[in-house]
Structure 1
Amino acid sequence: MGRRTVRGAVVAVVLCVAAGLGAGPGAGSAAVAAPGAYAYDFAEDARTVEGAASTTDAVGLEPGGTYRSTLPVNGRLYFRLALDATSNAYVSATAVPRQGTTVASSDGVKVAVQDADARSCSYDSTRFGASHSPHPVAAWASRTTDGETTACQGAGTYYVVVDRIDSAGSSSDDWDLELTYVSEPSLVDKVATTAPESSEAWDSASPDPLTGDAVRREGGAGFATAVPLGQGVWQDDIAPGRTLFYRVPVDWGQQLHAIAELGSSNAGSSGGGYVSSALVMSLYNPARGYVDDEGLVYNGSQSSAALDPLPPVSYANRYGVGDRTSGMRFAGSYYLVVHLAEQVTERFGAGPYGLTLRVQMSGTAQDAPGYLGQSVPRDTFAVTEQDREAAGGWTSGGVAGGTGSDGTDTGGGGDNAAMQVVAASGIGAGSLLVLMLGLWTLLARRRAGRA
């Protein structure tokens, strides 16, 4: 009886622990966001800083740093940069409205870099748009030394100015803010300061969309946790109010093509209604600079949106006009950010809804320009072998870690997070089982000895 009692207790403990491990981190916890809840993953290493109301008190930002702050209503914040006379500096600000916030289409965030005499080196703004649905939006500004202008060329102190764009009737709640600062070295030799024209230098026609079975890959909830995608057909679920982040490695000389498809709903289109700008797919470059976006109208039936043809990645694109050209100025991980408007719930239900992404790359990868040093963070403007393996896309020779013969994801560093949890759970439960069985044997022997 004693042996059975000990063994039963051990087995019960093992089963309970194994069940807890198999459930994954945070399972059953109230801290886990419910499906459809608004969420944003800030970088784990983000340093919390307080934006200043004046340049006099501005906090300094370091190259390669990621920072977290708060953007108040009708607020203007200042941060400080110490720049040399040769490198290019890019600062991106991601505004994250909190859950339950009310926003207007004209609300958004504006970023500028200014010199010590309040002259703007560059500025940019991004707004929430016609969906009226709160979601993360990012804008960037820069100080570059390779342009034709004479302003902002010298070494010295510069300031990042972040403005919150508010309209009447918007929420009075503060927004969260994430800042990144990336440094790009200058070139060994100067290049042409004219962007190539599409009619002369690159193919502006869209390729035929990819077909075939989709590979499931779940998007991240922020830039820092964006999930890698390569060329291929990818599938995910998205709930109204959610924003999903993916990153696609695009090398020098390559063109990115992307299509987002929102699947039909169980409610169908029988009601005759629709949601304008129900789903928006935005593209940001490796420095989190806005490049382009495309939205779709949804009436309950399947619908798709495709980015207009973009130029191949080229250093000279920075001299072009418009975000779609100047934003494609360096290689690296480009971010596809997909948002489904909250209003979809009112018309067609809480979902989640099926999302399909068709990602294609055209053009042959080329050598990088002759940089005089490394970017900070390192390899920000490059595509590494690790990036390609994690993306797990298709190649001209077939599947490269993207899909197996059964259609499952086999993408190297881009393995499904759930499988990693299951593997870790199995290892942890197995180790605990061996330990507990050993303890049971020891206790049984001691009881037998006493008897």
Structure 2
Amino acid sequence: MGRRTAWWRAVCRVAVVTAVLCGSGAGAGVPSAVAAPAPTPYGFSPDATTVPGVASTADAARLEPGRAYRSSLPVSTDVYYRLDLDGTSTAYVSATAVPPADATVSASDGLRVSVQDADGGSCSFETETFGGGSSARPLTAVAMRERSADRTRCAEAGTYYVVVERVGTPAVGDVAWDLELAAFAEPPLEEAVPTGAPESGDPGSPAPLTGEAVRRDGGAGFASAVSLGQGVWRSDLQPGGTVFYRVPVDWGERLHATAELAGSGEGSRVVVGALELSVHNPVRAPLDDASLNYNGSQRSASLDPLPPVAYENRFGNGDRITGMRFGGSYYLVVHLSAQVAERFGDGPFALTLRVRVEGPARSGPAYDGRFRPQDVFASPGGVGELGGVPSGGGGGAGDDDALMSVLAVSGIGGGTVIVATLAVWTVAGRRRVL
């Protein structure tokens, strides 16, 4: 990646050191016994446009790639939305359903999202359920219109429809769930690449990181996900709460994470699926999850090994492989079951996240256009979808935005951050002059 990448990694190290120094005086050592506010069910994007979910295609509201929307998912009625797509891009639509915090759900309850062509033919669909924990939480599924030389259906420009529905058996007194929709567009490549599956083989699980944890509380939704780099991170969770983090993962790199729930005293009964850790790619598609049962003693759960980010992963098998198809913001989502409160009290309960990003970062493929939106696909080097560093190695306005974002998302205020920001900004300016 050259001089530009080396400069960026130096900036990131400064940001991490700054966070550690400030964190030691801004809550890093706060004990878990400190009371926390009631968990927010979900933090919707502040830029989301409210659209109706209708029961037929005739009046379906249009979803535009690059934007987020807020809607509602009825108990027993499918809802429709419209996409107007070109004949070259791959489109993705994520649907995040948010049941009320006190909703009764079973393991088989959940949602399904699908993309259909104008004739009702299926382009793709995905179903997500609450699983063994049976705890109400935000639940996300993603469907897409993918251009493929092997399929004629869904290959043309035109009108497509997004269908969102609930699965499972509604409980007595069930009500509609809130819904966040986000649409994404991936441009075609400048040149076609072989469509063979990526090399197989077990990459093996890396050893979890050790060291002192730095406090970093998570966001309430995808839009407010708090940025994390490689490291050991500490937060507190209340039963029923869900927190969101985003981790920049470049082309050629792979992500691994472990969640640990601290002990809170022995209990006589076990909470099944007490804590769930899941990972989502930049279009919010779920790739893998891990859960743990809890009896009051400390427990941990680790994600299975994920492959390095590569374009050709999309030709592989299984969500864990096919979803690692582009560099950008990957999301770690952690949920603590509401049933924990019934056995062990209201908490909060101490959470430790061990996040590792490893592998040699490399240039991605050359795209003929830009992603929409661009920010979630931007690589740590600030060039993301463009497929590597420009040959000149120079910076631009995008670099300035990326630099300020890394320092800002450290989430720790104070004069030290200001000083570090000014210092790094000065170094960056001098590098551009050379």
> 1:279 Cα shift?
0.1
What pairs up with 1:367-406 in 2 under 5 angstroms? Answer: 367-385=363-381
Aligned to 1:117: 119
The 1:154/1:131 distance shift into structure 2, 3 A limit, reads same
Q: Is the 8 A contact 1:112 1:120 kept in 2?
A: yes
- Residue equivalent to 1:285: 281
Aligned-pair CA distance for 1:166: 3.3
**Counterpart Cα distance in 2 of 1:223 and 1:387:** 21
TM-score, length of structure 1 as denominator length = 0.77
CA distance in 2 between partners of 1:376 and 1:260 (Å): 31
Q: Counterpart of 2:215?
A: 216
Give 1:289-328 correspondences, 5 Å limit.
289-328=285-324
Corresponding residue to 1:172 among 147, 171, 174:
174
Q: Which of the residues 355, 364, 374 maps onto 2:360? A: 364
2:101, 2:137 within 8 Å by CA — same for their partners in 1? no
The Cα of 1:290 is off from its aligned counterpart by 1.1
Q: Which residue in 2 is equivalent to 1:106? A: 108
Contact 1:103–1:170 (8 Å) recurs in 2: no
Q: Map residues 42-441 of structure 1 onto 2, 5 A cutoff.
A: 42-146=44-148, 148-169=150-171, 171-199=173-201, 204-265=203-264, 268-269=265-266, 271-385=267-381, 412-416=407-411
Summarize deviations over 1:243-299 as a string: whole Å, max 9, x none.
00000001111111100000111xx12x33211110000111100111110000111
Are 1:255 and 1:311, in contact at CA under 8 Å, matched by a contact in 2?
A: yes
Give me the whole-angstrom Cα distance separating, in 2, the residues matched to 1:153 and 1:175: 33
The question of whether the paired residues in 1 share the 8 Å contact of 2:110 and 2:168 is answered with: yes
How far is the alpha carbon of 1:418 from its aligned partner?
6.4
CA contact (8 A) 2:39 2:242 kept: no
The Cα shift of 1:209 comes to: 1.3
CA deviations on 1:308-335 (whole Å, 9 max, x unpaired) are 0011111111111111111111111001
Structure 1 residue 171: deviation in Å? 4.8
Gaps of 5+ in 2: 1-34, 385-405, 419-434
Shift of 1:387: 10
Which one-letter code corresponds to 2:280 in the other structure?
Answer: Y
1:387 and 1:86, CA in 2 relative to 1: closer, same or farther beyond 3 A?
closer
Q: 1:133 to 1:217 in 2, by over 3 A?
A: same
Check whether the contact 1:36–1:240 (CA below 8 A) recurs between aligned residues. no
Asked if the contact 2:90/2:188 (under 8 Å) is kept, the reply is yes
Q: Based on CA coordinates, which of the two structures has the bigger radius of gyration? A: 1
* CA distance in 2: counterparts of 1:327 and 1:357, whole angstroms: 22
Amino acid in the other structure paired with 1:105:
A
Q: What is the DSSP-based 3-state SS (H/G/I as helix, E as strand, rest coil) of the residue aligned with 1:380?
A: helix
The aligned length equals 363
- Structure 1 unaligned blocks of 5 or more: 1-32, 389-410, 424-451
Whole-angstrom CA distance in 2 between matches of 1:207 and 1:217? 23
RMSD (Å), alpha carbons: 2.1
Please report how far the alpha carbon of residue 78 of structure 1 lies from its aligned counterpart in structure 2 after TM superposition.
Answer: 0.5
Mapped partners of 1:36, 1:387: distance in 2: 39
Residues 170 and 417 of structure 1: CA distance in aligned 2, closer, same or farther (over 3 Å): farther
CA shift at 1:169, angstroms?
2.7
CA deviations 1:28-70 (Å, max 9, x no partner) are xxxxx97344421100010000011100111111111100001
TM-fit CA distance, 1:123: 0.4
Q: Distance in 1 between matches of 2:147 and 2:172?
A: 38
Contact 1:195/1:320 (CA < 8 Å) preserved in 2? Answer: yes
AA partner of residue 341 (structure 2): T
> Which amino acid in the other structure matches residue 64 of structure 2?
E
Deviation, 1:205, is 1.0
Distance of aligned partners of 1:331 and 1:233 in 2 relative to their CA distance in 1, 3 Å threshold:
same
Distance in 2 (CA, whole Å) between partners of 1:208 and 1:381 is 27
Share of identical aligned residues, percent? 56
SS of the counterpart of 1:55? Answer: coil
Q: Secondary structure at the match of 2:343?
A: helix
Partners of 2:80 and 2:363 in 1: CA distance:
38
Q: TM-score, normalised by structure 2?
A: 0.80
CA–CA separation in structure 1 for the residues paired with 2:370 and 2:318: 27
How far apart are 1:164 and its partner, in Å? Answer: 1.3
Asked if structure 2 preserves the Cα contact closer than 8 Å seen for 1:249 and 1:387, the reply is: no
SS at match of 1:207: coil
TM-superposition CA deviations, 1:392-424 (whole Å, max 9, x none):
xxxxxxxxxxxxxxxxxxx7222325659x99x
Amino acid at match of 1:236: S
- Of 159-168 and 44-53, more deviation after overlay is shown by 159-168
1:149 Cα deviation (Å)?
1.7
Provide the C-alpha distance between the structure 2 equivalents of 1:262 and 1:278, rounded to a whole number of angstroms. Answer: 9
After TM superposition, where is structure 1 displaced by more than 6 Å over at least 4 residues in a row?
none
The letter for the 2-side match of 1:308 is D
Give, in whole Å, the separation in 2 of the partners of 1:360 and 1:51: 40
Distance 1:141 1:113 in 2: 6
Residue 298 of structure 1 aligns to which amino acid in structure 2?
Y
Q: Post-superposition shift, 1:148? A: 2.1
What is the CA–CA distance in structure 2 between the aligned matches of 1:321 and 1:68, rounded to whole Å? 32
Which secondary structure state, in structure 1, belongs to the residue aligned with residue 46 of structure 2?
A: coil
Partner of 1:6: none
Partner of residue 422, structure 2: none
